Structure 1
Amino acid sequence: MTQGAAQRRPRWGRRVLLGLLAVVAIAGIALAVAVRHRLDQRVRGEGVVRAPSEFTALEGSTGRAGAFVARIDFTSMATGSETISTEVAWDDEWFFQDPIAYNHELATTCSVLSAVANSESAYYQAGSDSPAYMEQALAELGFEEISTASYQYRSEVFDEVVDFIAGTDDVVAYSVATKRVTSEGGSERTLFLVSIRGSYGSEWLSDLNMGGAAAYGMEEITHEGFSEAAREIVDELAARVTEEAGLGGTDDICLLFTGHSRGAAAANIAAAYADEMSQGYRALAPLESIYCYTFATPAVTTFDNARDALYDNIFNVMNPSDLVPRLPLRSWGYERYGHDLWLPGHGDEGFDESHAAMREVFEANTGVECPYVPEDRERVDRLVADLGREIPTVGDLATLGGGATVVKDLLADVNPMQVLYGHYPSVYIAYMQSVNWGQSPIDTTD
């Protein structure tokens, strides 16, 4: 080796190292600027992002009205990114019926739309060739306009990192869409559909942000991570409803909220806010025109009025083997607004038949066998009982010992990945398509 070559090699190595350091420095500066920008937005009262104020027309809308059946595409956690599909029913007449009467057909369609809300995320990731599942689904159902702006800012890894660092992850992605619906008698209303995505990226941390009533000088509280997301949705919806209604008022507006998991929690609270607003001067819609169906819904509030008649238009569908609806614990004072409807669970009368029917529908929808283990209900029951006994209050959870207890009990009682199968949206869809609850809610407790 010549002396010149020996001298050039270290020099080249230093250049590579300096180049890498420069890239890291630039990335750090860009991240710092992005975080500062997010925090400035919050200070200015703009929320995490400022979404476009206009709807966009749904391309290829069928314009369908009345009663019909449509095929909807989405993805399933059981099959990865592979597109699957199922048929759903739709009837404009639903939105002229009493919202406190449980409507199983509408609930089943909502179970699919809440799964589509999760599928939509990939469409907004750079370089993705994933279709716009929500836009396609709502076009099939005859909706006319849509906004999915929040997905644009909440589906990239970079944005998730920024939200985590900035502490601005109390958000969700959601779609708002409109359709003019007509009753058999000729009455018309403008339907606003709100379908909310489940936990995504750093939003998982927000699921743990229960907040503290004492910090607000209150004795009761609604889960902070969920309620912050719900408030953003309601504020956005209020602006759109006001624009639609103009000076004519909101008497011909109707609302439909749906979501799965974190999306279910946000939908539950947003619908409760809409119910409360209907009693005041800033109504989004009349109380008799507000509908809500949620799935795998966590508990959301410690307010003792959550089961009041005002919220009878909210229905929360849950799987007894799913851990998510059992958290935060009821023993800590947490409830959901409205009615709890529990799907068939292991040990219930007639469960074997309902489970077999669900598995058949699941495989028809996804092309794979259902991985859900119904016997996990016993493990979930035991875990909830253990946590309630060992961590009697939310304050105890915040201690080092409380966190260690959660980890210990989780590892001792459940297989987290296996229990997750019972949380899959596709399991909920298959159950909804295979059971028939008629028009009366099955309101039970856990």
Structure 2
Amino acid sequence: MTPQEAKQHSTNLVMVPTTFLSHFAQMCGQAKERFENDIEIPFDDSWFFAPTNVYNPYMAWSAMGICLTGYKNLPSNEYRYIRKSFFNLGCEDIDISSYYHLNDENPVAYRLNVDQASYAFGHRHVHNTDGTERELVIMMLRGTSDTTEWLSNSEVADSIADGDFSRLVNHEGFWNTAEKAFRDLRTYIQRYDIDMSDARLWVIGHSRGAAIANALAAMIDEDTSLGVTHDRLYAYTFSASRVTMRKDYNSATFDNIFNVINPEDYIPRLPPYGWGIRRFGRDLYLPSIATRYADYRTYLDDFQTMFKQWTHMEFPAFHGNAEINALERELHNICPDIPTMYQRKRFSHAGTLTFAQYFTLFTDLAAVSGRTLALEAADFAKYGTGTFRDFLGFFLRNEIHGHNAPAAHQEEGYLIKLMLCCKYNIDIEQGATPDVTRLSVYGPASITVKDRGGAVVGSISKGRIDDKLYETNNFIAMYVDDTTGEQSVWVPDSGDYHVTLRAETNEPSKHPIDARVSTLDPEGNTLTQTYYTNIALPKQALNESVDWTLLAQQHQGTAASHFNDVDVSVEIRGIGQLNEDEAFVSFYEPGAHSMPIPKPEVVCDALGFLNATAGDHGIIHAHHGRHAKFLGWFAPGTAPKHAPGTDLTHAEPLSTEESYVLPLTHSTTLTAWFEKR
């Protein structure tokens, strides 16, 4: 349902006043105080007589507004924000008792509150246009506070002790918390003797609360013991992480669950898609500059104005989701699957860690101890020297030293965008269909994009984005990956845009470039791709720009026939006898997740490059410790000349660079050879 259609059906729409406390500027160190804001959210009784499997954008706006008021409810402010929302919605028997011990001012919460969450309950009567009256129960689940709830977010499969991770069905941290929420919801219904035989239930949540709400709604869809059936359950989540390994996650059983996602927000991208983990129900995507350019431009000015008005600071934008795509890929490269997360010992210069242990330590320091220790969390960078370097680098750039990541996830941003989608009749049910095309260039060439009027809207030269364009009105998404040499622009499909390339070497014929033209879904998966190799720019490209369209016509492009399935897997082999308590490669025994990690300690590591598409350039990494040296990357079946054994052919390495960039056309397995010093 489009916003215009939803408004036409909302014949008794009223605006409900409420208040929220914005802490974003304080969290970012841009203000000493928090700021109260008075807002209004829509509400219409008739929503709850419509089919539950039809998305209502005004209902989403209302739900996100309630979720926004669910944050920063503390003893010192008498929990007044969430109380006000439920009271002004006309609810009775309002229950926010879980907030009393699950809040940032309760020191016990920092130590004990793991698989828990705060939520609010209320109920009221709703009336249809024909006079029909029904009971409505509202349950709002709050997102993560600065407590150990964060550790539950990383608790994917902690209980599996026998190494058989194939038994995992749902993310344990979210599912365990949802089971508790289910019991507490039942208790609330029984305490106030609410007849659910014909009642409606509205379950909503943001961030961690969204993931729990997603799991909870799926439980209720299959367990009717509460008295609620699929046709009376309305579920709206915002920035939900992935929660289930089930293959029927998007079946008709769960089509009353709607998950609203900002493509520039990393929280919905965890755990990684490549594990096969998903959300129940339907994913709907807000417009972003790299996915739905026209819609994004429609509301951008209003969005920036409102965000500054509410938070008292400028919006720190990513200007695209390429960094989020890279983060998810990096996590998948570190942990190709769930067993690797728990059992593969990884190398860092601060010691051996599995990723599960590393992530627990990182979140414990950066989140559990509170944002006041954010700078101390930067000291954790020593753990990133090695296998975790690029993963940690994202958070150092965008979470600790910068604020792009929290801004993309921030509850104010979600609410403002949903409001503006209603104002401008932007249909986010179309959000998965891109209206931009990505052009990537690998090699010594600059890219310039001009609009119909000749204004430059995109420019990358010598591996650097012209960030002055961000001060103009119509810039497009741009991205540079320093590790692979990728330079990409996202060119809108509508309008007349002109793309040119220019050589950045005196002998362009001796330094050909590669290029790819792609469309991506909002989560970074390739939908279509044509790639070009060994393009020698003409001599005139030294002094004048060359039209990309003409250049592409002159070269034979190759259309990829399948997508996101090219893997460069890596193996590790070593030469020489290490100390007794050291190893080139080591895994935990099944079920052993103890700290500190038992010996042996690993002295090297390597990361592959997974889920690529033919035409991508990938990078693989080798890491060596003080007792090992890197000999090089070797093709399948080959080894260094002095390697022992006769099962391999002695050969020269493909590369002796620990970080090796290579164009990808098909899957392969390369071996990183190390030797004891």
- Aligning the two structures, in what range does the TM-score lie when normalised by the shorter sequence? 0.7 to 0.9
Provide the aligned C-alpha RMSD in A. 2.4
Bigger Cα displacement from structure 2, 284-293 vs 218-227: 218-227
Residue 442 (structure 2) aligns with: none
2:274–2:332: 8 Å Cα contact kept in structure 1? Answer: yes
Residue 115 (structure 2) aligns with: 170
Residue 146 (structure 1) aligns with: 94
Residue 380 (structure 1) aligns with: 324
Bigger Cα displacement from structure 2, 250-259 vs 433-442: 433-442
2:51 is paired with a residue of what secondary structure?
Answer: coil
Residue 158 (structure 1) aligns with: 107
Q: Please give the TM-score of this superposition, normalised by the length of structure 1.
A: 0.76
Residue 437 (structure 2) aligns with: none
1:73-88 aligned at under 5 Å gives the runs: 73-80=19-26, 81-88=34-41
C-alpha displacement of 1:390 = 3.4
2:217 corresponds to which of 267, 271, 277: 271
- C-alpha distance in 2 between matches for 1:176 and 1:367: 27
- C-alpha distance in 2 between matches for 1:244 and 1:367: 38
2:230 corresponds to which of 283, 287, 290: 287
2:330–2:391: 8 Å Cα contact kept in structure 1? Answer: no
Residue 176 (structure 2) aligns with: 228
2:69 is paired with a residue of what secondary structure?
Answer: helix
Residue 415 (structure 1) aligns with: 398
Residue 199 (structure 1) aligns with: 144
- C-alpha distance in 1 between matches for 2:188 and 2:335: 43
C-alpha displacement of 1:268 = 0.7
C-alpha displacement of 1:354 = 3.0
- C-alpha distance in 2 between matches for 1:428 and 1:393: 31
Bigger Cα displacement from structure 2, 343-352 vs 313-322: 343-352
Residue 433 (structure 1) aligns with: 419
Count of aligned pairs: 367
- C-alpha distance in 1 between matches for 2:41 and 2:12: 14
- The yes-or-no answer on 1:91 pairing with 2:40 is no
1:217-251 Cα distance to aligned partner (Å, 9 max, x none):
763321111111111111121233345567xx632
- C-alpha distance in 2 between matches for 1:299 and 1:406: 24
Gaps of 5+ in 1: 1-64
Residues 215 and 182 from structure 1, CA distance in 2 versus in 1: closer, same or farther, beyond 3 angstroms? farther
- C-alpha distance in 2 between matches for 1:187 and 1:245: 21
Q: Please give the TM-score of this superposition, normalised by the length of structure 2.
A: 0.51
- The yes-or-no answer on 1:112 pairing with 2:95 is no
Of structures 1 and 2, the larger Rg is shown by 2
C-alpha displacement of 1:212 = 5.2
1:88 is paired with a residue of what secondary structure?
Answer: strand
1:340–1:443: 8 Å Cα contact kept in structure 2? Answer: no
Gaps of 5+ in 2: 1-10, 27-33, 347-354, 359-383, 433-520, 524-677
Residues 319 and 408 from structure 1, CA distance in 2 versus in 1: closer, same or farther, beyond 3 angstroms? same
2:304–2:315: 8 Å Cα contact kept in structure 1? Answer: no
C-alpha displacement of 1:116 = 1.1
Residue 135 (structure 2) aligns with: 190
1:424 corresponds to which of 410, 426, 438: 410
2:268 corresponds to which of 317, 320, 325: 325
Identify, as 1 or 2, the structure richer in helix: 1
- C-alpha distance in 1 between matches for 2:249 and 2:14: 35
2:22–2:311: 8 Å Cα contact kept in structure 1? Answer: no
C-alpha displacement of 1:356 = 2.5
- C-alpha distance in 2 between matches for 1:406 and 1:178: 50
1:154 is paired with a residue of what secondary structure?
Answer: coil
Residue 337 (structure 2) aligns with: 393
- C-alpha distance in 2 between matches for 1:205 and 1:324: 14
Residues 230 and 241 from structure 1, CA distance in 2 versus in 1: closer, same or farther, beyond 3 angstroms? same
Equivalent AA in structure 2 for residue 311 of structure 1:
F
2:288–2:320: 8 Å Cα contact kept in structure 1? Answer: no
- C-alpha distance in 2 between matches for 1:199 and 1:406: 28
Equivalent AA in structure 2 for residue 132 of structure 1:
R
Question: Following superposition, which runs of at least 4 residues in structure 1 exceed 3 angstroms of deviation?
Answer: 212-218, 242-246, 402-407, 411-414, 436-445
1:117–1:259: 8 Å Cα contact kept in structure 2? Answer: no
Residue 72 (structure 1) aligns with: 18
1:191 is paired with a residue of what secondary structure?
Answer: strand
Residue 33 (structure 1) aligns with: none
